[in-house]
Structure 1
Amino acid sequence: MSVDRSEFRQGWKVVAASALGIGTGLSPIPFYTTGVFVAPLTAEFGWGVDQIMLALVIMTLGAMVMGPLAGMAADRFGVRRVVLISVALFGVTLAGFALSNGSLTLFYINWMLLAALGSGTLPITWTRAVNNWFNTHRGLALGLSLLGTGLFGAAAKLYANFLIGEVGWRLAYVGLALLPLLLSLPTAFFLFRDVTDKGVTEAPARQAHRGFTLRQALGTYRFWVLAIAFVPISFAVGGPIPNLEKILGTKGMDVQQAVQIASLIGPSVIAGRLLGGWLIDRFWAPGVAFVLLALPAGACLLLTGDGVTPASSMGAVLLIGFAAGVEYDILAFLVSRYYGMRAYGAIYGTMYGFFALGAGFGPFIFGRIFVNTGSYDLGLIYGSAALLAGAALLLTMGRYPSPDSLPEDDAA
């Protein structure tokens, strides 16, 4: 049996559970659905688009603090335990938005709780197990695991928009909360296991205890190259996505047309995941990242000016989604290849804080630019430049270290 079949025969359950868990978790659901709640929240409470998008900044700050802690907890106590607890708490907290009473303070507090309690649903946790189960085809396995962001991101946007029209925005939040509670939680309970969990007997041999500690990683130049590079990259990709409906609306498209075009981001994320994962298994990942992240920089420019058409906007959304499909799995892959799995959760969790900085502030900055200028064009131009700059910085990473050269945990 080939290595490919052997790895997927043993690890397919983990990939499937991770795809569902990531797709219904903190990473995609708020970013993909916030845009469709802007109109009803504004109509109900009179909030501005920038005030609503500020919630994503607050959530980002919470994820920046709690992401590393969730990763450390996964390293120390086991990733399965962290995942199961966090999925349940994330669903309950998401349903809490249905109780919003017009107080922005309480609205923002709920976003803080969402980030704190739901941080264990981020790719930080799920990808730890995937990396341990896969080696030769790790990139493809990560791509498949992260498909959930595209599948459920697009579906959740349409699902939330449908629920808002049928039962109102309050019950729409409850409907969203049912996704992690009824889909992800039972699937993770029955299928999700790490190679180091008790009772796992057919796990492949892995170097789960070999690699850098967080302190050692912080002392390397590569850590800071990754951290700095992914701030502009995540800003450029994360900024437009929650604002897509508003961006397209400023170009003369009605609400339904804007939602339909924006939903195309889902298939393009899927394409980015699969192609990116396949490529990084075969070629140097920073070089792949440069090509796949630099090309979509033109998508931002396609959405600027007065000549935006439905056709050009569809092309732009597909390219932005393609970049969104590449960024997560490449970051997870690079952390595992350069730093090993010994403290993967802590290192990736800390790295995710920088990633979340750009992704979280991006929507708010885009919203503020629109409020101040009446157009998203300036933000889109900034996004194009940011993608090029971040992608170019990754080219300084150098070759992968040999797995056997990584330090080993003596206690293990």
Structure 2
Amino acid sequence: MVGVSVGLSPIPFYTIGMFAPELSDAFGWSFSAMMGSIAVQSIVVMLVSPFAGYAVDRFGARRVATVSLFCFGLCFMSLSLNGGSLTVFYAQWVVMSVLGAGTLSATWTYVVNGWFDRHKGLALGLASAGTGITGFLIKPFTAWLITEFGWRIAFAAIGMLPILIGIPVVLLFLRERSASGEPVVPAIEEDDDQPAPAASAGYSLKEAMHQKNFWILVVAFLLIAFSLTAPTPNLENILRTKEFSLGQIGTITASFGLAVIAGRLIGGWLLDKAWAPLIAFFILMIPAFGCWMLSMDDLGSTAAFLAVAGIGFGAGFEFDLLAYLVSRYFGQRQYGLIYGCFYTVIALGGGLGPVVYGHIYDTVGGYTFPLTAGALIVMVGGALLMLLGRYPDFDRSQESAQFAGTLGKTAA
């Protein structure tokens, strides 16, 4: 949870809005140009996530997290040195996204999935709640730093968080699980022909891609990510079109962050109680209903509050669900690489969604159609998950492979 909270996912996303007015005053950059840095990060993450996941499988989460937290912190601190070049600013975000990719959820969920089984969903929810904690605390902290010391010192101070908080916690407490339950750092070399140990049993990426479940999840999460991410950066403007005041908009949208935390914890807990695709289908009806409510012309403040909270609940549940399903259906053998591929799918859907919503608003002047369509799309994504079969029994598969290997050696 601590590692997630000081990583690449929450810190830049929740602080760029605080730094934007300062950079605009200092260099004359437009807000749209500065918000383009988030788009740059999304594109880079989409490209490098599989490689970051492969590094976790190859070298271990502890090593990857330590190096990536250090590099991410330095890169974020370097933003304080910009002299006014927007090109250099974008280049800094590219480097930061590449070197900081090891702090994304693939690293942390790899460790959680290795240790937990019966309460896997709740454990994933607790770990990923770190992003919600950062979203709640980082904005007032950033505002205080900027007010007291200026934006350059604020960049440097926030960049120290991954180094001063994240790295000591990782080095002291983060341990990966071996087949015997002992802490271990995976060996660099691996014989793909030998059966995987219990803690890393499962499919390789090549084997996973030959299964229909892999492609069901690709399509389902592309739709889910599109529909849940699209309204998020547009929430303020959606509510403005409903003629809410600025004060009301601030109050209503405050429910989103808390709902994200609730979605991670409650959704993760529910995943342990029954077949995950069935739980997911019913939970995804909550943000679908929220999108439908926001599409209505006659929308009161209470209904708007509940609608925004519903979308936030679904957005918080999304990454827990992905980590849980990848672990259950494909195992730990190449979890990082497989999860990284699905993270690319989510980044693609999440990157397209806000752009499509914004384009439709510019064209027709409203959000009724995209919100209604989004409600249907997220339900279709949830329904696709129902096509997944029962969880594979990797322990039994491993025992069969070991038995076959023993017979082969005996015959030889």
Q: Counterpart of 2:394?
A: 403
Deviation at 1:145, TM superposition (A): 0.9
Which SS does the other structure have where 2:100 is aligned? helix
Query: Which residue identity is paired with 1:109?
Result: A
Q: 2-side partners of 1:72 and 1:202: how far apart?
A: 17
The answer as to 2:327 corresponding to 1:336 is: yes
Is 1:339–1:406's contact at 8 Å kept on the other side of the alignment? no
Residue matched to 1:71: 53
Shift of 1:154: 2.7
* Structure 2 SS opposite 1:264: helix
Q: Pick the aligned partner of 1:143 from 125, 129, 149.
A: 125
Alignment partner of 1:194 out of 160, 176, 179 = 176
* Residues 1:317 and 2:299 are matched in the alignment: no
C-alpha deviation, 1:100, in angstroms: 4.2
Match of 1:303 among 275, 287, 294: 294
Deviation at 1:253, TM superposition (A): 5.4
The answer to whether the aligner puts 1:127 opposite 2:118 as a matched pair is no
User: Which segments of 5 or more consecutive residues in structure 1 lack a partner in the other structure?
Assistant: 1-18
CA contact (8 A) 1:53 1:367 kept: no
Task: State which drifts further: 265-274 or 300-309.
Answer: 300-309
Do the aligned residues in 2 keep the contact of 1:154 with 1:263 (CA within 8 Å)? no
Structure-to-structure mapping, 1:148-163, within 5 angstroms: 148-161=130-143, 163=145
Q: Given that residues 41 and 47 in structure 1 are in contact (C-alpha distance below 8 angstroms), is that contact kept between their aligned partners in structure 2?
A: yes
Distance in 1, matches of 2:174 and 2:205, equals: 25
Match of 2:231 among 240, 256, 259: 240
Q: Deviations over 1:215-247 (max 9, x none)?
A: 111111111111121122122222333444454
How far 1:306 moved relative to its partner?
A: 5.7
- Asked if 1:274 corresponds to 2:265, the answer is yes
1:76-132 Cα deviation digits (max 9, x unpaired): 111100001111111222233334455433232222122201111111011111111
Indicate conservation of the 8 Å contact 1:299/1:316, yes or no: yes
Question: CA separation in 2, counterparts of 1:93 and 1:367?
Answer: 30
Amino acid at match of 2:395: D
| CA apart distance, 1:378 | 5.1
Amino acid at match of 1:328: F
d(CA) in 1 for partners of 2:209, 2:330: 11
How far did residue 27 of structure 1 move?
2.1
Q: What is the Cα-based RMSD across aligned positions, in Å?
A: 3.2
- Figure out how many residues of one structure are paired with residues of the other and give that number: 391
Q: Percent of aligned positions with the same letter in both sequences?
A: 43
1: CA distance between counterparts of 2:66 and 2:337?
Answer: 19
1:263 is aligned to 2:263: no
- Distance in 2 (CA, whole Å) between partners of 1:253 and 1:366 is 20
SS of residue paired to 2:125: helix
Larger radius of gyration: 2
Secondary structure at the aligned position of 1:336 is classed as helix
Partner of 2:38: 56
Residue number in structure 2 paired with 1:352: 343
Distance in 1 separating the partners of 2:82 and 2:362: 24
Maintained 8 Å contact 1:33/1:242? no
Residue 69 of structure 2 aligns with an amino acid whose one-letter code is V
How many Å apart are 1:373 and its aligned residue? 5.5
1:252 Cα deviation from its structure 2 partner = 5.0
Aligned equivalent of 1:86: 68
Equivalent position of 1:27 in the other structure: 9
Comparing 362-371 with 118-127, which one deviates more in the overlay?
Answer: 362-371
In structure 2, the residue matched to 1:8 is none
Instruction: Kindly indicate whether the alpha-carbon contact (under 8 Å) linking 1:67 and 1:350 is maintained by their aligned counterparts in 2.
Output: yes
Counterpart of 1:295 in 2: which secondary structure? helix
- Which residue type is aligned with residue 9 of structure 2? S
Select which of 229, 238, 246 maps to 2:220.
229
Matched-pair contact (CA < 8 Å) for 2:176–2:184: no
1:374-404 CA-to-partner distances (Å, cap 9, x unmatched) read 5555554443333222212211111111122
Deviations 1:57-90 (A, max 9, x none): 3212211222111111111111100001111111
Q: Distance in 1 between matches of 2:398 and 2:225?
A: 31
Q: CA deviation at 1:35?
A: 4.4
Secondary structure of 2:200 counterpart: coil
- For 1:268, the aligned partner's letter is A
Structure 2 counterpart of 1:392, which letter? A
- CA shift for structure 1 position 372: 5.3
Deviation of residue 309 (structure 1)? 4.6
Q: Is the 8 A contact 2:40 2:93 kept in 1?
A: yes
Residues 304 and 349 of structure 1, relative CA distance in 2, 3 Å threshold: same
Give distance in 1, aligned partners of 2:230 and 2:314: 12
Pick closer, same or farther for the CA change 1:395–1:48 going to 2, 3 Å. Answer: farther
Q: Give the CA deviation at 1:180.
A: 2.1
Structure 1 residues 178 and 213: alpha-carbon distance in aligned structure 2, compared to 1, 3 A threshold: same
Kindly tell me: are residues 219 and 77 of structure 1, through their superposed partners in 2, closer, same or farther at Cα, counting changes over 3 Å?
same
After the TM superposition, which of the residue ranges 41-50 and 331-340 deviates more from structure 2?
41-50
Larger mean CA deviation between 112-121 and 380-389 belongs to: 380-389
Q: Which letter maps to 2:231?
A: P
Amino acid at match of 2:227: A
Corresponding residue SS for 1:296:
helix
1:184 aligned to which of 166, 179, 185: 166
Question: How far apart, in 2, do the equivalents of 1:381 and 1:110 lie?
Answer: 38
